[in-house]
Amino acid sequence: MPAEYKTDSGKIVIAEEVVATIAGVAATECYGIVGMASRKITDGIAELLGRESLSKGVEVTIDDSRVAISMYIVVGYGTKISEVAKNVIDQVRYKVESETGLNVRKVDIRIQGVKVSSPD
């Protein structure tokens, strides 16, 4: 259900897709994230998504203007995953709340893969 604001001169409706895109952009700018994973592939190798489909690895439900977000992400090998995930939660919550004015109830992070980069 999209979020609705009522103002004196009309109402504002924010679709879930909008929140998903904002959350996707915020996450991909977050340090430690090397990609978003498609949520359709729950087993096997997580599919790395390109930039065009930023909202693909993001599930958004809006209930009474309160937002719940689930994100499916791929992290870089050798980072502290728990801390990276915490940073993503903070960053996504902040971005979505400040850009949409909606209240973010929770952000769940699912680490779908770890990317090992070329040997260094």
Partner 1 sequence: MAQDTLTGEMLRNCMRSAAAVLEEQKAAVNALNVFPVPDGDTGTNMSLTMQAAVREADRCATLGVSDVGRAISLGSLMGARGNSGVILSQLFRGLGKSMEGRSELSPVDLARAFQNGVETAYKAVMRPVEGTILTVAREMSRSAARAARDGATIKDVLEAAKAGAEVALVKTPDLLPVLKHAGVVDAGGKGLVVILDGMLQAVEGHVVEPGRLAAAEEPGGAFHITAEIEEITFTYDTQLLVSASGLELDELREQLQPLGDSMLVVGTPELAKVHIHTNNPGLVLETCLKYGDLREVGVENMRQQFEALKAARMASEASQQALAGAAQGVVDLPGLEVERKEAAVVAVAVGEGLGHIFRSLGVDVLVNGGQTMNPSTEELVNGIAAAPCQKVILLPNNTNIIMAAKQAIELTDRQVEVVPSPNIPKGIAALLAYNPQADLEVNCSRMVRAMDQTRSGEVTFAVRKARHGDVEISEGDVLGITEDEIVAVGTDPSTVLGILLERLLGQNSEFVSIFFGEDVTAEEAEAAAAVIQDRHPELEIEVHHGGQPLFYYLVSVE
Rounded least distance, CB 25 to partner 1, Å: 9
* CB-side neighbour CA atoms (13 Å) of 35: 18
Chosen residue from 4, 17, 63, 83 binding partner 1 by CB under 8 A? 83
Residue 113 as a binder of partner 1 (CB under 8 A): the answer is no
H or E element, residue 111: strand 103-115
Residue 52 as a binder of partner 1 (CB under 8 A): the answer is no
Query: Coil, strand, or helix at residue 55?
Result: coil
Q: List the structure tokens of 94.
A: 């902040």
Complex with partner 1: residue 11 or 69, whichever CB lies closer: 69
- Alpha carbon of 11 to those of 3, 7, 82: distances in Å? 10, 6, 40
Residue 120 as a binder of partner 1 (CB under 8 A): the answer is yes
The contact set with partner 1 (CB under 8 A) reads 26, 28-35, 75-76, 78-80, 83-84, 87, 90-91, 94-95, 117, 120
